[in-house]
A and B are shown apart, each in its own frame.
Chain A
Amino acid sequence: MIYGATEAARSILEEFFKRARSSRSWEELLGAIDYLYRACESRPYSSLLINASRDIFQDFLLSNSSNVSDAIASISASISRVFEMVRNMTLQAALIASKRIQDDETIFTISYSGTVLKIFENLVARGARVRAIVTESRPFGEGVEMAKALKSLGVNVTLIVDSAIRSFIKRASRVVIGAEAIAANGSIINKIGTALLAIAARESRIRLFVVSGSYKIVPETFFGELVGSPEIELKDIPQDLVSMGVKAWIPLFEAVPAEYIDAIITEKGLTSPHAIPYIVRETFGSWPPRVRRLDDLYRDVRSKILERLEKT
């Protein structure tokens, strides 16, 4: 079971790499590329997956390999580079965040975030006596997994239902969360329930920090595209309700407006959410970002492979 945004994207990239590496022909490699693109299409919210795929496609086009094994080598190199980069970004962002947190704080968090766990790891290593409050995060209960992970780190952790956020928020010194995606205007996309937490934190003047590698910024949002969220059906409702026609669905993710966020911490530092364009300039090399859309790149990658196929 995969809980965090980074972990989920990584497992798809690993599956793609497994398929690409075992390809013996251009057809098989095309199959692997199709798998990756379809995974991106069905996860428009997974910023990390989309940005990583963009890099992989761009590297592939640049390498212009003439045989399959060269192409695989180039993909292998770009995947290693992406993994390395994501790892470093996460570590750096977590390090900056843990420096900001004092030794005796109570951190409120939601769902499961590998980045947030890394912060706690740093704090524990420093000898800080931090406490954590986590909501169970229905419908999948990732908060329970987060509580278990925090407990294994030796953090004093309290688990509550999602409905009890406002009842417990005043006990926290700070809210620290990860992100599924960061949009152009500094708002973030995260697991359902995060907006509730942000509004409750603002009401009680508890600061909210988002910690995430800059890889979570979705450049497409600069061109007006919304980060979509899949609606999921709640599977565990009683059968008699289903037969009565009761519907049970919710979006998996939701947006938190920038004005509820006190700071976004990326590997580039701690900034206001409204300063995301600054991070974009640093990450994508320019403002506005000159990035090619993933569907464009995919089309080019496909036609390049088909070209090679015809030749053989």
Chain B
Amino acid sequence: MIPEEVLRIAEDIRSMRIRGAGRIARATAEALMIAAEGYKGDLEGFARYMEEVSRVLLSTRPTAVSLPNAVSYIMKAVRKGYGDVREAVEAVVKVATEFKEYSEKALELIAEIGSRIVDDGATIVTHCNSSAVVSILARAWSEGKRFRVYATETRPRYQGYITARDLASRGIPVVLITDSAMTYAVRRADLVLVGADAITSNGALINKVGTSQVALVSRTYGVPFYVAAETYKFSPYTLVGEIVEIEERDPREVLDPLIDGIEVRNPAFDATPPEYIDAIITEIGIISPEMAILVITDFLGHVAMPETVRGYEDSEATNAL
């Protein structure tokens, strides 16, 4: 039996009450921890039970790589040998806590590193809502730098309102614009700064739909385009040829009620090619997008081997090795 609270967290991720790749990752770690603590069976069934919880969590949002990265980080601990259930549960709680703490710490480090690229007097454009971007801007502002931000409203779900709230509550001047006005804003900007849902092994950015056209316009007008991303958003699956699935959400988010005879498409994300990205700000430093491979291999420790090619998520296979 999976505890109620775990199912509730899964549902909150699916319905986007919990949103943003960082928050999703932390909520995932939390859910796995609660699941472990609520386990009632014997040691033999523990791994299978945790696999089931993982599957529930993994099914919520197909695009956010932070979610499977959090799962695989914690599930590594599940698959080690333990003497009894208590020992196994304690180990899971320990790594889940570790992961959450690391995630918080990563945000602080990104804020510190990223704030250095924000100049006094700058005009900055951002799209959607990213806790990494907000933490960078908040840090720069608290250091006494003065700047203003154009935030896109981010249709269809208006996450730009959250960004505007996050920034304005700290005193940062914000102008909300429609997504259609991106060119107008970028032409007046010194810097474009966005978050990430996933970074692929060749350095492409998967983020909220509209990000790739902000990047394109930035390149057209020579405005630097920076991405803020924790390393757990780098996708090891892409290293072995998996594509990042772009989630297509309910068309009623765009047009409600729907009109018979009008097809509505609502992809939640898009892919920005690495050549439009000036740099990615991570907690381990600023890298060029083409160096994503180093983060995935050397830092996160994933390499393309026969067993990983067979599937990261297929834990039955991994266990058998």
Verify that A and B bind, or say they do not: yes
Grouping DSSP codes into helix (H, G, I), strand (E, B) and loop, the B interface class, with mixed when no group exceeds half, is mixed
Across the interface, name the chain B residue whose C-beta is closest to A168: B265
Across the interface, name the chain B residue whose C-beta is closest to A245: B168
Given A196-B213, A196-B217, A247-B175, CB of A162 within 8 Å of CB of B180: yes
> In whole Å, how far is B150's beta carbon from the nearest beta carbon of chain A?
10
A309 within 8 A of partner (CB): no
Given A247-B176, A250-B184, CB of A138 within 8 Å of CB of B262: no
> Do A138 and B153 have beta carbons less than 8 Å apart?
yes
B49 within 8 A of partner (CB): no
Given A234-B153, A245-B173, CB of A162 within 8 Å of CB of B262: no
Q: What chain B residues lie within 8 Å of A246 (beta carbons)? A: 164-165, 168, 174-176
Across the interface, name the chain A residue whose C-beta is closest to B260: A151
> Do B175 and A138 have beta carbons less than 8 Å apart?
no
Number of interface residues of B (CB under 8 A): 41
A-contact 0/1 string along B202-241, CB 8 Å cutoff:
0000001110110011001000000000000000000000
A238 within 8 A of partner (CB): yes
A-contact 0/1 string along B31-69, CB 8 Å cutoff:
000000000000000000000000000000000000000
> In whole Å, how far is A73's beta carbon from the nearest beta carbon of chain B?
45
Across the interface, name the chain B residue whose C-beta is closest to A247: B175
Question: Which of A45-53, A153-161, A215-223 has 4 or more CB atoms under 8 Å from chain B?
Answer: A153-161
B255 within 8 A of partner (CB): yes
> Do B175 and A163 have beta carbons less than 8 Å apart?
no
> Do B180 and A135 have beta carbons less than 8 Å apart?
yes
> In whole Å, how far is A240's beta carbon from the nearest beta carbon of chain B?
7
A199 within 8 A of partner (CB): yes
Q: What chain B residues lie within 8 Å of A158 (beta carbons)? A: 262-265
A282 within 8 A of partner (CB): no
B319 within 8 A of partner (CB): no
Question: Which of B17-25, B154-162, B292-300 has 4 or more CB atoms under 8 Å from chain A?
Answer: B154-162
> Do B176 and A192 have beta carbons less than 8 Å apart?
no
A251 within 8 A of partner (CB): yes
Q: Which of B224-280 contact A (CB under 8 A)?
A: 254-255, 259, 261-267, 270
Number of interface residues of A (CB under 8 A): 44
Q: What chain A residues lie within 8 Å of B179 (beta carbons)? A: 138, 161-163, 193
> Do A200 and B216 have beta carbons less than 8 Å apart?
yes
Q: What chain B residues lie within 8 Å of A157 (beta carbons)? A: 261-263
Given A166-B213, A240-B165, CB of A193 within 8 Å of CB of B180: yes
Contact of A196 among B180, B255, B263, B270 (CB under 8 A): B180
Measured CA separation A105–B179 after assembly (Å): 27
Measured CA separation A237–B177 after assembly (Å): 10
Q: Which of B162-208 contact A (CB under 8 A)?
A: 164-165, 168-169, 173-184, 208
Measured CA separation A126–B262 after assembly (Å): 22
Across the interface, name the chain A residue whose C-beta is closest to B213: A166
A-contact 0/1 string along B67-81, CB 8 Å cutoff:
000000000000000
Q: What chain A residues lie within 8 Å of B213 (beta carbons)? A: 163, 165-166, 196, 199-200
11 contacts between A and B (CB under 8 A): A136-B255, A138-B155, A139-B178, A139-B180, A162-B210, A163-B179, A163-B209, A164-B270, A192-B180, A200-B213, A245-B173
Q: A163-B179, A254-B184 are in contact. List 14 more A-B contacts (CB 8 A).
A: A138-B153, A144-B255, A151-B259, A159-B254, A159-B262, A163-B209, A192-B178, A193-B180, A234-B153, A234-B177, A244-B165, A244-B169, A247-B176, A248-B153
8 A-B pairs closest in CB distance: A163-B210, A193-B180, A248-B176, A195-B183, A244-B168, A250-B181, A138-B178, A162-B180
